[in-house]
């Protein structure tokens, strides 16, 4: 990783209120975001995600700690300097937050207007951006005439108008249906590749992270619990909070398992995408039943756990184990007497 993070957060804490009513939303957060990456921050509602992302452009002032944007500690800047820096940090929101009395084109012109860009130039750039987000034909439409996905596209165009280095997305797809979510995520990924803008995505949805993030931080109880490449963190969640989030139903043993011998298979993305279980049954000539499976496809690779009920005879068990070894699938035998 490079030595020059685009955003570096050091010892950041945020407490709302004071005295007995004080709420600690963030507690000693340390985080480095590299230029050009798509960084995800995931956590349950109330974990402090929005507060964290709002600290990145100082919409929220941290109680302690610093926010270093492109080498400058922005908590130390004057109001005027901060406004200038904010032009380099775009932001989109769950509720879109478009100006309802301006049409799409004028919404995209807005940040340029704030920055003092001449009207003609601003209009030209806004038109380009609207066509980048696929809304060239809707420039005269008012937000009330646009669908949720279209509104978010306008918001993305607006956030990118001043050529920011970073785009902050606070639950940007949480108000959208799954199909629209997909298309917005693809657009973000495309923009990241095309213009190299660093993207920070806040969400409570795993699939958003899985789909486009390079790295992820898991936030719970006001702290970052785990941080790392998406595949690594989702494959081997270490902390209790992360496991809870990733395998939302960790209590499956009680739900699904009776007395007997079981084999837990672990898919860590290194296996082929062939239908392993079906092949195993054919090759070994033994029938097994899957009592529990929680697997995900991330970037075309399979991750997760699967619990198989083993046959009675040891011979079948041995065959299965041999097959799994040959396929490079990690497993663990479990026995339940309940």
Partner 1 sequence: MLNEIIKEIFSAQMLSLVWQGLLETLYMSLISTAVAYVIGLPVGMLLVVTDKDGVKPNPAVNTTVGSIVNFFRSVPFLILMVAVMPLSRLIVGTTIGAKATIVSLVIASAPYVARMVESSAKEVDRGVIEASLSMGASTMQIVRKVILPEAKPSLIYGAAISSTTILGYTAMAGAVGGGGLGAIAINYGYHRKETVIMWLMVFILVLIVQVFQMIGSFLAKKNDKRIR
Ligand X SMILES: Nc1ncnc2c1ncn2[C@@H]1O[C@H](COP(=O)(O)OP(=O)(O)O)[C@@H](O)[C@H]1O
Q: Which residues bind Mg ion (CB under 5 A)?
A: 50
Q: Which partner in partner 1, Mg ion, ligand X, none is near 48 (CB below 5 to 8 A by kind)? A: ligand X
Cβ distance to partner 1 smaller for residue 128 or 332: 128
- Alpha carbon dihedral 40, 46, 48, 49, in 10-degree steps, equals 20
3-state secondary structure string across the chain: CCCCCCEEEEEEEEEECCHHHCEEEEEEEEEEECCCCEEEEECCCCCCHHHHHHHHCCCCCCCEEEEEECCEEHHHCCHHHHHHHHCCEEEEECCCCCCCCCCHHHHHHHHHHHCCCCHHHHHHHHHHHHHHCCCHHHCCCCHHHCCHHHHHHHHHHHHHCCCCCEEEEECCCCCCCHHHHHHHHHHHHHHHHHHCCEEEEEECCHHHHHHHCCEEEEEECCEEEEEEEHHHHHHCCCCHHHHHHHCCCCCHHHHHCCCEEEEEEEEECCCCCCCHHHHHHHHHCCCCEEEEEEEEEECCEEEEEEEEECCCCHHHHHHHHHHHHHCCCEEEEEEECC
Number of residues near partner 1 (by CB under 8 A)? 35
Query: Any contact of residue 49 with ligand X (CB under 6 A)?
Result: yes
3 part of the interface to ligand X, by CB under 6 A: no
45 near ligand X, judged by CB under 6 A: yes
Mask of contacts with ligand X, 270-289, x by CB under 6 A? Answer: --------------------
22 binds, among ligand X, partner 1, Mg ion, none (CB under 5 to 8 A by kind): none
Residue 140 binding partner 1, by CB under 8 A: no
- Answer with the entry of Mg ion, partner 1, ligand X, none that 87 interacts with (C-beta below 5 to 8 A by kind): partner 1
Among 41, 91, 157, 284, binds partner 1 (CB under 8 A): 91
Give the shortest CB-171-to-Mg ion separation in angstroms: 6
Instruction: Indicate which single residue of 5, 8, 9, 43 sits in contact with ligand X (rule: CB under 6 A).
Output: 43
Q: Give me Rg for the CA atoms of the chain.
A: 24
Distances (CA, A) of 235 to 42, 138, 288: 15, 42, 25
CB of 119 to ligand X, least distance (A): 36
Q: Is residue 77 close enough to count as binding partner 1 by CB under 8 A?
A: no
162 or 183: CB nearest partner 1: 162
103 binds, among partner 1, ligand X, Mg ion, none (CB under 5 to 8 A by kind): partner 1
Residue 51 binds to ligand X (criterion: CB under 6 A): yes
As a whole number of angstroms, the distance between CA 108 and CA 196 comes to: 20
Instruction: Name the residue nearer to partner 1 (CB basis): 170 or 210.
Output: 170
Q: Name which position in 34, 37, 70, 113 contacts partner 1 (CB under 8 A).
A: 113
Dihedral of CA 316/309/239/47: which sign?
A: positive
Position 181 contacts ligand X (CB under 6 A): no
> Taken in order 225, 227, 230, 236, is the CA torsion positive or negative?
negative
Figure out which of the listed residues 95, 134, 260, 316 binds partner 1, where binding follows CB under 8 A.
Answer: 95
Say whether residue 119 binds partner 1 (CB under 8 A). Answer: no
Name the segment binding partner 1 (CB under 8 A); options: 64-72, 98-106, 233-241, 249-257.
98-106
Q: Which does 46 bind (CB under 5 to 8 A by kind): ligand X, Mg ion, partner 1, none?
A: ligand X
Give the binding site for partner 1 (CB under 8 A): 57, 59, 79, 82-87, 89-91, 93, 95, 97-103, 110-111, 113-115, 142-145, 155, 158-159, 162, 168
Give the binding site for ligand X (CB under 6 A): 16, 23, 25, 43, 45-51
């Amino acid at each position: 990783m490079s030595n020059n993070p685009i955003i570096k957060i050091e010892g950041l804490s945020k407490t709302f209120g004071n005295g007995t009513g004080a709420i600690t939303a963030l507690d000693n957060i340390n985080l480095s975001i590299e230029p050009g990456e798509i960084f995800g921050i995931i956590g349950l509602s109330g974990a402090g995600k929005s507060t964290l992302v709002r600290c990145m452009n100082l919409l929220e002032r941290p109680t302690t700690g610093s926010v270093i944007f492109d080498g400058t500690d922005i908590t130390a800047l004057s109001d005027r300097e901060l406004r200038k820096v904010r032009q380099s940090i775009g932001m989109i929101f769950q509720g879109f937050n478009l100006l309802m009395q301006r049409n799409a084109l004028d919404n995209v012109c807005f940040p340029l207007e704030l920055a003092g860009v001449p009207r003609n130039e601003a209009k030209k750039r806004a038109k380009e951006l609207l066509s980048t987000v696929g809304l060239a034909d809707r420039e005269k439409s008012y937000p009330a005439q646009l669908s949720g996905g279209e509104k978010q596209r306008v918001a993305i165009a607006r956030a990118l108008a001043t050529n920011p280095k970073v785009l902050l997305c606070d639950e940007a797809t949480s108000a959208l249906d799954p199909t629209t979510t997909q298309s917005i995520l693809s657009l973000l990924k495309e923009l990241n590749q095309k213009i190299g803008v660093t993207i920070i995505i806040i969400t409570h949805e795993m699939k958003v992270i899985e789909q486009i993030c390079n790295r992820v931080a898991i936030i719970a109880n006001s702290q970052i619990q785990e941080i790392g490449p998406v595949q690594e963190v989702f494959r081997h969640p270490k902390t209790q909070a992360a496991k809870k989030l990733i395998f939302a139903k960790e209590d499956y043993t009680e739900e699904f398992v009776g007395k007997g011998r079981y084999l837990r298979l672990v898919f860590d993305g290194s296996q082929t995408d062939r239908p392993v279980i079906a092949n195993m049954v054919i090759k070994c000539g033994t029938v097994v039943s899957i009592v529990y499976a929680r697997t995900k496809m991330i970037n075309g690779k399979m991750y997760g756990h699967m619990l198989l009920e083993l046959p009675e005879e040891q011979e079948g068990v041995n065959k299965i184990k041999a097959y799994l070894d040959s396929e490079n699938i990690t497993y663990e035998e479990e026995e339940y007497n309940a």
